Structure 1
Amino acid sequence: MNPQKIAILTDTCADIPAELAAQHQIFTLPLTISFGEEHFRDGVDITPAQVYRRMAEELPKTSLPSGETILGLFAQMREQGYEKVLAILFSSGLSGTYQAVKLMGEGFPGLEVAAFDTRSGSLGTGLTVLEAARFVEEGRTWNEICALIPRLIANTTVFFCVDTLEYLQKGGRIGKITAIAGTMLQIKPIISFTPAGELISVAKVRGRAQSIERVTQLAADCYQAGRRCNIATAHGDAPEDGAKAAKLLRQKVPAYQRHFEGIVDCTLGSHTGPHLIGAGIQLLDDDM
């Protein structure tokens, strides 16, 4: 049910599987992954697994979607009869996608575009997009949904455990000495997003098993007894560990309503390297 002809737009950093996006009629902007002079659309021309394999030889660069791609997707929505667009996007602290979509949406004829900076990525963005899709399907009004989305963003928290410090060091996010020492000691950092949407280290543990336990516990610690919630897990080319994280989080937060599972996108994986594990939670208010 979509009487107001509302479209939902996100980007590939939301980590929403293609079949789930199709089920909820979600439009997705692919970010760009570049290896030298080769350019690929995240999740379209290249998969996360392919990115991880190539990272052993060359560190990729990432960039926001082209203006032509953004305008083309707006035109497609208009042609399909949509009149309003909820654009729910990757953190402006890590990408210019939100600003580009907001700017181009303001002047696009025939569409009313409301752009939202999730100040998060992967599971954090995906959880918000899927709840917004539910609101649309329930027939909630445009103004009501636009008021609810910022509250969803504020109530969503995600954590990720990084398997190696190598790629954070190569990307300039940590020093070389720190990376070498951390690798020798099997240090696994847990990262999250700051209020401004930038990556921040929130904990450090030793060993893979402990890092998966800790990342799910951090997400579970955000649960508030008696409140409805959604949970989410994702992995970066590590399906067995992803399944472990999913099982642990479901055990730690048994009162969840929905469990969103995704695969970490090429863009985030380009900064963190393979085998990333994510866990998150989204608290829902009574009127949601």
Structure 2
Amino acid sequence: MNIIDGEKLYYGFFSGEKEVLKRRNHLNKINVFPVADGDTGTNLVHTMHSITEGSRAESSVANVSRDMASAALIGSRGNSGIIFAQFLQGVHDSVKDKIELNVKDFVNAAKRGVDFAYMSVTHPVEGTILTVMKSWSDSLHSLHEKTNDFVELISHSIDAAKIALSETPKKLKVLRDAGVVDAGAEGFVHFIEGFLHFIRSGIKPKSSDTEQLALPKEKSHKFDKYKKLEYRYCTEGMVNSTRLTTDQLREMLSEYGESLIVAGSTQVVKFHIHTNNPSEIFYGLRKFGLITQSKVDDMQRQSETQFKRKSSIALVIDSTCDLPQSILDKYQIHLIPINLTCGEHHYLDKLAVTPDQFYSMLDEEGFVFSTSQPPVKTFENFYSSLLEHYDAIISLHLSQVLSGTYNAAKLAAEKFPNEKIAVINTKSISSGAGLMAQRVAEEIERKKSFEEIVALTKTLSAKTHLLVSVKTLKYMVRSGRVSPLKGFIANLLKLKPIVSLDKNGASTLSGKAFSEQANINKIVSKIAEHNKTKPILRYAIGHVHCDKEAVAFSEKIEKAIGKSAEYIMDISPAIGGHVGIGALSVCFIEE
């Protein structure tokens, strides 16, 4: 074969994706650089699948490479995934006026791709996917004058890529200490192998070819000791902007962390960085363009999951389940964020936007927001990753009546019929779900069985109660929770409602007063009366951007029942945005 057209380029790429997919779990297991978060295989497969899904086979190389480069930018994930996406940007830049490629065109495109890949990384590190890409490209260049046949060219060039892969531990001490090669680099080698398989055989891959290759069972990689990461969050985002170049974005983000990669075109820029302040990055980017993607992975929790698990049962919550970070860390609780759309910007609740940042935007003129549950696929991928390390999963979520999150999690769990996954409808929200999660975490720590803990959650749900004092109905009207007419009448009469949840987890009116203080007094009185007949085991205070009032509220309850709050914290933006600034809540579990 001495010519590659657009169709061959597409199916060669598709074949490469399938080869990487077969090794996904293996690549996850050997992932130790830049951090041992065990997701390189998953990220590469996600990136490559996004590319094949976002493009199609046609005759023109220029058109196929354009669509692939665009889809790569949108769908890329992880360090190696974004580097690979920028490699494709370079390939397209080289072939953007080509209908078909000869060997020389292909070699030039590969070199341009490598140049783009290196430019995307702020501080390129050798011994990674970059090294193998360059060795492969250099080999193509040295061989192309000896042959016009693609099969011969790529067959011999793979040898150079494999040698470079085998030498990655010599260049990176962390690989040498772990006894592995670089995961991203190995993924790239498998991609080239898959590409060659199609070029040689002409057999088009099928969408159903998704089997994992049966590799020998590997021992866990040994490290001298578990080390807390300097930067906790693997953060990625995409901004549609004509006012922000890749160089400008790189300069802006360089102070926020390490492993910075910036890719993009004149219209869209995408970044990857390891940082401790993901929300500051996204908040600062609002003024430069439209934030269309945000992804924040907790690498500390991922690393703990692999190397320092405290239990064989994983506890998962969504971000509306309000618990302080200290408790999440103490019990290694896994969090899946609710999606927030603020105007046209996309954020992840609590991770890409903090309560303080969100509530400062809430009163901006014309500000509109909406929430949506994580997709079923997000839960499915999350559970799949956890099941590689845990024997069972307990997944607690906000009231099924108030959100589709529980249903999405339930559908995902059904994809694993032979695994122990319990998806629990807490029939609560905010600190109510948080207190339930805290109690479940304590039982997991006490080594209670999966079945015992699942049974306990049903009892806890019936014993968990919530009361919310709403300062103004304007936010509930804005979000559609209350009709404009009812909101107008309540405002006219200066009514302050007390909202609760019924036994099914649906919101209901529990009382009302004509002042905030009267509302607080009513709630404290209700708590005191409840405590007389059904003693309160523990309670927590939530607030929407009014911490001083929350402390005073907590002190009143403590005086009334002789027990202090477990914690006081800002309510999740996904919930607080609906009840509005100034709202106060108390959630409690009875004995």
After TM superposition, the structure 1 = structure 2 runs for residues 79-228 of structure 1, keeping only pairs within 5 Å, are 79=388, 81-108=389-416, 111-225=419-533, 227=535
Contact 1:64 1:95 in 2 (8 A): yes
Contact 1:4 1:83 in 2 (8 A): no
Q: Which residue does the alignment assign to 1:55?
A: 362
- 2:390 maps to amino acid: Y
What is the Cα deviation at residue 255 of structure 1? 4.9
SS in 2 for 1:149: helix
SS in 1 for 2:466: strand
CA distance in 2, matches of 1:268, 1:253: 27
CA distance in 1, matches of 2:417, 2:353: 32
**Compared CA separation, residues 63 and 3, structure 1 to 2 (3 A):** closer
SS in 2 for 1:44: coil
Superimposed CA distance per residue, residues 24-67 of structure 1 (whole angstroms, 9 cap, x where no aligned partner): 11111100110232111000111223222323232210000133
CA distance in 2, matches of 1:121, 1:254: 25
Structure with more of its chain in helix, by fraction: 2
What is the Cα deviation at residue 159 of structure 1? 0.5
SS in 2 for 1:115: strand
**Compared CA separation, residues 7 and 247, structure 1 to 2 (3 A):** same
Contact 1:89 1:118 in 2 (8 A): yes
For residue 240 of structure 1, the aligned residue among 548, 554, 562 is 548
Deviates most, 66-75 or 229-238: 66-75
- 1:170 maps to amino acid: R
What is the Cα deviation at residue 110 of structure 1? 7.2
Q: Which residue does the alignment assign to 1:229?
A: 537
CA distance in 1, matches of 2:538, 2:355: 25
Contact 1:78 1:110 in 2 (8 A): no
CA distance in 1, matches of 2:326, 2:423: 24
For residue 344 of structure 2, the aligned residue among 12, 30, 37 is 37
CA distance in 2, matches of 1:130, 1:34: 29
What is the Cα deviation at residue 153 of structure 1? 0.7
Deviates most, 261-270 or 123-132: 261-270
SS in 1 for 2:541: strand
Greater RCO, 1 or 2 (C-alpha within 8 Å, sep 6+): 1
Is residue 11 of structure 1 aligned with residue 318 of structure 2?
A: yes
What is the Cα deviation at residue 228 of structure 1? 5.9
Contact 1:4 1:142 in 2 (8 A): no
Superimposed CA distance per residue, residues 68-125 of structure 1 (whole angstroms, 9 cap, x where no aligned partner): 432332233234x211111111011111111111121122377411011011100210
CA distance in 2, matches of 1:225, 1:21: 32
CA distance in 2, matches of 1:220, 1:82: 42
- 1:207 maps to amino acid: S
CA distance in 1, matches of 2:494, 2:431: 26
CA distance in 2, matches of 1:224, 1:113: 38
After TM superposition, the structure 1 = structure 2 runs for residues 272-287 of structure 1, keeping only pairs within 5 Å, are 272-284=579-591
Superimposed CA distance per residue, residues 205-238 of structure 1 (whole angstroms, 9 cap, x where no aligned partner): 1222222222233333322457461111111110
What is the Cα deviation at residue 12 of structure 1? 0.8
Q: Which runs of 5+ in 1 are unaligned?
A: none
Q: Which residue does the alignment assign to 1:70?
A: 379
Superimposed CA distance per residue, residues 255-274 of structure 1 (whole angstroms, 9 cap, x where no aligned partner): 57x62333210111121111
Superimposed CA distance per residue, residues 170-189 of structure 1 (whole angstroms, 9 cap, x where no aligned partner): 22332323322322433211
Is residue 24 of structure 1 aligned with residue 331 of structure 2?
A: yes
CA distance in 2, matches of 1:194, 1:226: 17
SS in 2 for 1:169: helix
Q: RMSD of aligned C-alpha atoms?
A: 2.1
Contact 1:219 1:279 in 2 (8 A): no
SS in 2 for 1:14: coil
For residue 267 of structure 1, the aligned residue among 556, 574, 581 is 574
CA distance in 2, matches of 1:225, 1:194: 19
- 1:133 maps to amino acid: A
Identity fraction in percent:
25
Count of aligned pairs? 281
CA distance in 1, matches of 2:525, 2:541: 12
Contact 2:534 2:590 in 1 (8 A): no
CA distance in 2, matches of 1:273, 1:24: 31
Structure with more of its chain in strand, by fraction: 1
CA distance in 2, matches of 1:88, 1:225: 28
Contact 1:13 1:267 in 2 (8 A): yes
TM-score w.r.t. structure 1 length? 0.90
- 2:454 maps to amino acid: C
SS in 2 for 1:15: coil
**Compared CA separation, residues 220 and 126, structure 1 to 2 (3 A):** farther
Contact 2:395 2:424 in 1 (8 A): yes
Contact 1:231 1:282 in 2 (8 A): yes
Superimposed CA distance per residue, residues 114-148 of structure 1 (whole angstroms, 9 cap, x where no aligned partner): 01101110021011100000111111122111111
**Compared CA separation, residues 179 and 17, structure 1 to 2 (3 A):** same
CA distance in 2, matches of 1:35, 1:158: 27
Contact 2:544 2:584 in 1 (8 A): yes
Contact 2:316 2:333 in 1 (8 A): yes
Q: Which residue does the alignment assign to 1:254?
A: 562
SS in 1 for 2:510: strand
